[in-house]
Amino acid sequence: MKRLFGTDGIRGVVGELMTPGFGVEMGMAIGTFLGKGKIVIATDTRTTKDMMKNAVVSGVVSTGIDVLDLGIAPTPALQFAIPYFKADLGVIITASHNPPNFNGIKCIDGDGTELPREKEEKIENIFFKKKYKYAGWENIGKISNEKINEEYVNAIKKQVNVDLIKKAGLKVVLDCANGAGCFTAPYLLESLGCRVVALNAQPMGVPAHNSEPTPENLQELVKTVKAVGADLGIAHDGDADRAVFVDEKGNYIPGEKTLAFLAGEIVRENKGGLVVTAVSSSSSVEEVVKKYGGEVEYTKVGSPIIARVMRKKKGVFGGEENGGLIFPSFQYCRDGGMAAAKVLEVMAKSKKTLSELIASVPTYFLYKTKIPCPEEKKEKVMEIFIELMKKEKHKLNTIDGVKVCTDKGWMLVRPSGTEPIYRIFAESKNMEEAKNLAEKGKKMIEKIVEKG
């Protein structure tokens, strides 16, 4: 069966996959799947937000489900709204960091975590078979408008020591990427006593820079942190479920360093505990977590999977290396606002600069490469590769592709879900070793593919 939902909901170009007709039918499929109850819906700031939202809402109410429309809100605020309004499901109209000609539809389960794959399949099944349930004119769902952003900000503040952060009086340059964070992040930081210089805080559908928070896209933030002598810079992506940081010297902090640093802090606060992250994450996370007496559990790549494992195994923290951080004391989803508040709290508590704090995280180097492999050979190639690695007596993790742990570092070989290739990642304490490991893996895969 064809798939519509990827790891982060349905994404597509407006006018191609993302049309009003598609929105209506997806709304009908979601409503039919739910059967009864109510949903909450929100959007990011894209120019097509209302077109897609109104289409989805129209489809949902046709099945007899009520809709609370929250307007523009970050994805984590929408997730917070589900238990807040006792809704049965959430829908967020966003394509996160994708360019402005994209939009997307993501469903959140009644527990505030992204819908698991089995439920997405049920919705896809209804969509492809067009087995929609119509409620009839007398039972059409009701649409009402509600607000969540202020409550979401207040709820984050209950998670941190507000007085302590206020006392520190930190100066922050904030880059909202003209996204949904414009409606929460400046207010959160100001109410935590920060002096805020806000960049790209106008909620325009066409952002001033691409909203993927990479070093290339955050040049203005880096420059401004240095120019105004700020204590740190914070950037969100388009739907503000992620946060990345810049230190007081204007250094962009890679996401895996923030992940490892916060994992260490939270494990230390909890005097131990489980941290959950994807098998592709840096060894720096495990190194820091173990130092403070915690453990790491590795999962398949994808934040919904990480969140569900955290819930099941009572993890104290989790996340991804792209700035998607999950704080279970608040909610089981990536939360850019919560990540910002937590970093401010750690800075205030320690009275250290962000560069000093991050310096405690060991540096590893990641090398990436890829190798072509025909789709029909992928499974067999992987089997043979695993057998060869077993003979070399390396520690293996096969939860997502195969991760080979050696004394010099690790190598991860994963089949691409969208292209006829294998992706190879290797990490080590020096770049040369990482490259050697990856190239060794690449040669082995190449040989196996040739032998066929």
Catalytic residues: 96
> Six-digit token pair at 141?
């769902």
Q: Which stretch binds Mg ion (CB under 5 A): 88-96, 246-254, 315-323, 411-419?
A: 88-96
Q: Which stretch binds Mg ion (CB under 5 A): 180-188, 229-237, 394-402, 415-423?
A: 229-237
Does residue 98 belong to the site contacting Mg ion (CB under 5 A)? no
Q: Measured from the CB atom, is 38 or 46 closer to Mg ion? A: 46
Q: Measured from the CB atom, is 25 or 335 closer to Mg ion? A: 335
Does residue 237 belong to the site contacting Mg ion (CB under 5 A)? yes
Smallest separation, CB 74 to Mg ion (Å)? 9
Residue 22 CA to residue 418 CA, distance in Å, equals: 22
3-state secondary structure 136-202: CHHHCCCEEECCCHHHHHHHHHCCCCHHHHHHHCCEEEEECCCCHHHHCHHHHHHHCCCEEEEECCC
Report the half-sphere exposure of 423 (CA within 13 A, side-chain side). 13
Q: Measured from the CB atom, is 90 or 441 closer to Mg ion? A: 90
Does residue 256 belong to the site contacting Mg ion (CB under 5 A)? no
Does residue 241 belong to the site contacting Mg ion (CB under 5 A)? yes
Does residue 43 belong to the site contacting Mg ion (CB under 5 A)? no
Smallest separation, CB 212 to Mg ion (Å)? 9
Smallest separation, CB 42 to Mg ion (Å)? 13
Among the listed residues 120, 212, 239, 320, the single contact to Mg ion using CB under 5 A: 239
Residue 113 CA to residue 115 CA, distance in Å, equals: 6
> Six-digit token pair at 260?
């490892």
Q: Which residue's beta carbon is nearest to the bound Mg ion?
A: 96
Does residue 96 belong to the site contacting Mg ion (CB under 5 A)? yes
Place of tokens 């819930």: 311
Q: Measured from the CB atom, is 120 or 237 closer to Mg ion? A: 237
Number of residues in contact with Mg ion under rule CB under 5 A: 4
Smallest separation, CB 405 to Mg ion (Å)? 30
Smallest separation, CB 96 to Mg ion (Å)? 3
Cβ neighbours of 148 (radius 10 Å): 25
At residue 418's C-alpha, the angle toward residues 75 and 284, to 5°, is 60
Smallest separation, CB 337 to Mg ion (Å)? 12
Q: Which stretch binds Mg ion (CB under 5 A): 111-119, 195-203, 236-244, 383-391?
A: 236-244
Does residue 303 belong to the site contacting Mg ion (CB under 5 A)? no
Q: Measured from the CB atom, is 47 or 125 closer to Mg ion? A: 47
Q: Measured from the CB atom, is 25 or 241 closer to Mg ion? A: 241
Q: Which residues bind Mg ion (CB under 5 A)?
A: 96, 237, 239, 241
